[in-house]
Amino acid sequence: MTAQSNPTAATPVAAPELSATIIVPLNRLKASPRNARKVKHSAAMIEALAASIKAKGVLQPPVVEIERDGAGAPTGGWLVTIGEGRRQALRLLVKRKAIKRTHPVRVIVDADNDAHEISLDENITREAMHPADQFEAFKRLADEKGYGPEEIGARFGVTAPVVRQRLRLGAAAPELMQAYRDGTLTLDQLTAFCLSEDQTRQRQVFDQCGPYAPPYAIRRAMTEAKVRADDRRARFVGVEAYAEAGGSILRDLFTEDGGGWLEDPGLLDRLVGDKLAGLAEAVRLSEGWKWAEAGSDYPEASRFGRVYPVEVVRAEADAAEIAALSEEYDRLVSGTDAAEALPPGADARLAEIDKALQAFGPGLDYPADVKARAGVMVLLGHDGQARYERGLVRPEDAVGDPTSDPDVPDEEDASGEGASAFHGDTDDTPGAADAADAALAPLSERLVLDLTAHRTMGLRDSVQAAPDMALIVVVHALALQVFYPAWGVWTPLQLRLSVAGLERLAPGVSDSPAGRRVADRLDRWGARLPREARDLWAALTSLPPSDLLDLMACCAGVGLYAVRDPHDRKPEALAQAERLATAVGLDMTGTWTATAAGYFSRVSKARVLEAVAEATTPEEAGRIAGFRKGDMAEAAERLVEGRGWLPPLLRTAPPPQEDEGGEGDEAAPVTEDGYSFAAE
């Protein structure tokens, strides 16, 4: 049996046939100094070759020449002129103990050609397979051989996710694949079309967008009417729960995070509603509310009145234990601040204390009689978490209306002496004058007005002379209108605070970072104030001035209104709002971000390009200048993301610089900067 018929038998080195195929032990093969390739093969290439050799053997024999010593005598070794990558792959298999060091290798001995030239020829006169051919070849292996991504990956030295990508690309519509081969489509465009395996949809989008659409525009068109996997609804329900309910998911195989789209929005919305309703019923039963509802957004909760929790009155022993546990917790935490790790037992003790404190329940809660007439709404927040809006009161359940309170006189009875107190100065009825003189007749209307006018002037004088009391008067009037709307007008101070809702103007504004901070402050103060409006005055007189100022700021902030309404133009009010923004250092970058939906799709192309140029460079703006409006808006969102760019209407003017005389310039009113109030 010859060496060619038995590849396991090594041919003697002493007498090779020149330009013939022989078998050589792997450990006799060496790198050739005459190899034209000086840059080593990549690790990925060696891995791929090793996988191929392990599955199919060495398909193309390396070309070698005899190694000779200085005297020209053979050394017994062979220099690999062509096929150094295959030699390295075989050595990798030896290292992994897949083959032995003496593994027989079929090689071709070439003594006729110059070794350096044929090495150069091997690396120049060849052309790699077009990727489209590779994609379709992988698809054919899967279809005809039944190989899965893992099997194909193992045979070609690539990962299973890469194989899945190539299989998806290999399933592209023939028209798209041909366009890719012809160079009409780029690989990025093809991957965008192959987001879905639906070839009919691929053709529709190709006809709609054409061959020059950017990849993100193709991806958007391929996924319209679908819901992103990072949408707040999907995060709330969970992609797994959606799939278990029978929902289909379009996976993006070409992004690192493996994101995707949920293809059944109707099912998703139903799951969201069911989960919110379940949470609402659970909180109603566990906390004892009169009613509970599920809602999709904050405006649904704004139609209700609101009551706030009060501090829980605890037994003396419980209060003492809570104080002791809290003190111990703080002591343990402060003692371990500088340590990289908690001491043994400290972590467990902190967990015990935390569990014990939670067992006492919250420090603030709603009384049972409040829960008996109020309810809770469970809403879906912008972060995909359930938000519980407690203490909501329906109009029919509201109590404490001052117009029905027997202790508060009717408007016609404001004199305190009954409805009959208001009469004219004279009465022409015969005998009326004599009767009035004979009895304690009610005071006339004009006299009542006269006397109470004098009393009002005296009250004004007294309040002006008592600044601390004036602060309480102002805070009392504001707090009544913010926290006790039904009592808002029942105050002698004619200070009217209009609390206008903003959700109808900008849906979602209440759930913005600023909106949540405003709501949290209201919740904290609502919990501190008394339940009944008639008790508010006494509560305020016991507060220190710092708390009164904080409460006044809370109420005043709620009453601010700086919306540019085309039907209610108040230039001086808007100018004052700008001065106020400068004074408080308003920075909108912490609560608003320019997005395609929220801004760029709602302004002209010129403004989009202006924004991109300001946030990045004019060159970046120029790159998207030819895009269609929708594509330009999406591109602009990505370009300005994280750069803190704001439109002129949201920018705050810096404080005015003092001139040489120390006088600051008056802040100039901010103009509309070219913005019109036309419908968007």
Which domains does the chain show, CATH number per domain? 21-124 (3.90.1530.10), 419-558 (no CATH), 587-650 (no CATH)
Report whether 85 contacts 49 (CB < 8 A): yes
pLDDT recorded at residue 659: 55
Asked whether residue 278 carries a pLDDT value surpassing 90, the answer given is yes
503: left (phi over 0), alpha (psi -120 to 50) or beta: alpha
Which pLDDT band holds residue 606 (cuts at 50, 70, 90)? very high
pLDDT recorded at residue 431: 53
User: Can you read off the two tokens belonging to residue 491?
Assistant: 């105050």
CA–CA distance, 319 with 364 (Å, rounded to integer)? 14
pLDDT recorded at residue 338: 54
pLDDT recorded at residue 405: 45
pLDDT recorded at residue 538: 93
pLDDT recorded at residue 561: 86
Return the SS3 of 122: helix
Phi, psi of 624 (to 5 degrees): -105, 5
CA–CA distance, 254 with 256 (Å, rounded to integer)? 7
Return the SS3 of 217: helix
What are the CA-CA distances from residue 244 to residues 10, 239, 270 (Å)? 60, 9, 14
Nearest Cα neighbor of 294 from 306, 281, 276, 269 is: 276
The overall longest dimension of the chain from CA atoms, in Å, is: 156
Nearest Cα neighbor of 506 from 234, 235, 297, 225 is: 297
User: Can you read off the two tokens belonging to residue 359?
Assistant: 């067992």
Mean pLDDT, to the nearest integer, of 186-214? 84
Enclosing H/E stretch for 262: strand 260-262
Mean pLDDT, to the nearest integer, of 501-515? 81
- Please indicate whether residue 447 or residue 567 has the higher confidence score (pLDDT): 447
pLDDT recorded at residue 271: 92
Mean pLDDT, to the nearest integer, of 288-314? 80
Q: Flag the least confident range among 101-110, 325-334, 415-424, 449-458.
A: 415-424
- Please indicate whether residue 345 or residue 624 has the higher confidence score (pLDDT): 624
Report whether 79 contacts 115 (CB < 8 A): yes
Q: pLDDT tens across 464-500, in order? A: 899 999 999 999 999 988 888 766 557 888 888 877 7
pLDDT recorded at residue 621: 92
Report whether 281 contacts 274 (CB < 8 A): no
CA–CA distance, 302 with 632 (Å, rounded to integer)? 36
Cross-strand bridge partners of residue 291: 375
Mean pLDDT of the chain: 80
Radius of gyration (C-alpha) of the chain in whole angstroms: 41
What are the CA-CA distances from residue 159 to residues 151, 166, 664 (Å)? 10, 11, 67
Go through the chain and tell me how many residues it has: 680
Return the SS3 of 293: strand
pLDDT recorded at residue 131: 83
Pairing relationship of beta strands 375-380 and 291-294 according to DSSP bridges:
parallel
Nearest Cα neighbor of 58 from 93, 30, 32, 17 is: 93
**Which positions ≥6 away from 504 have C-beta within 8 Å?**
299
- Please indicate whether residue 342 or residue 156 has the higher confidence score (pLDDT): 156
Asked whether residue 143 carries a pLDDT value surpassing 70, the answer given is yes
Which pLDDT band holds residue 274 (cuts at 50, 70, 90)? very high
- C-alpha angle with apex 386: 504 to 370, nearest 5 degrees? 80
Mean pLDDT, to the nearest integer, of 114-141? 78
pLDDT recorded at residue 298: 67
427-458 burial, b for 16+ CB within 10 Å, e for fewer?
eeeeeeeeeeeeeeebbbeeebeeeeeeeeee
CA–CA distance, 109 with 588 (Å, rounded to integer)? 75
User: Can you read off the two tokens belonging to residue 298?
Assistant: 């904050």
Tell me, letter by letter, the H, E, C secondary structure of 519-572: HHHHHHHHHHCCCCHHHHHHHHHCCCHHHHHHHHHHHHHHCCCCCCCCCCCCHH
Which pLDDT band holds residue 434 (cuts at 50, 70, 90)? low
Return the SS3 of 258: coil
pLDDT recorded at residue 6: 43
Mean pLDDT, to the nearest integer, of 32-59? 84
User: Can you read off the two tokens belonging to residue 66?
Assistant: 């005899």
Q: pLDDT tens across 361-390, in order? A: 777 788 888 889 899 999 888 778 888 888
Most confident stretch, 189-193, 375-379, 567-571: 375-379
Q: Work out the number of other CB atoms within 10 angstroms of the CB of residue 124.
A: 8
Enclosing H/E stretch for 206: helix 199-209
CA–CA distance, 41 with 31 (Å, rounded to integer)? 13
Q: pLDDT tens across 623-658, in order? A: 998 888 888 998 999 999 999 999 998 998 888 776
Global pTM value:
0.51
CA–CA distance, 232 with 227 (Å, rounded to integer)? 10
Phi, psi of 628 (to 5 degrees): -70, 160
CA–CA distance, 50 with 52 (Å, rounded to integer)? 5
Mean pLDDT, to the nearest integer, of 601-620? 92
Nearest Cα neighbor of 67 from 107, 21, 30, 25 is: 30
Residue ranges with strand state E in 141-248: 227-228
Q: Using the structure block, give the residue that is written with the tokens 């450990």.
A: 27
Asked whether residue 284 carries a pLDDT value surpassing 80, the answer given is yes
Mean pLDDT, to the nearest integer, of 548-572? 86
Asked whether residue 65 carries a pLDDT value surpassing 80, the answer given is yes
CA–CA distance, 169 with 134 (Å, rounded to integer)? 10
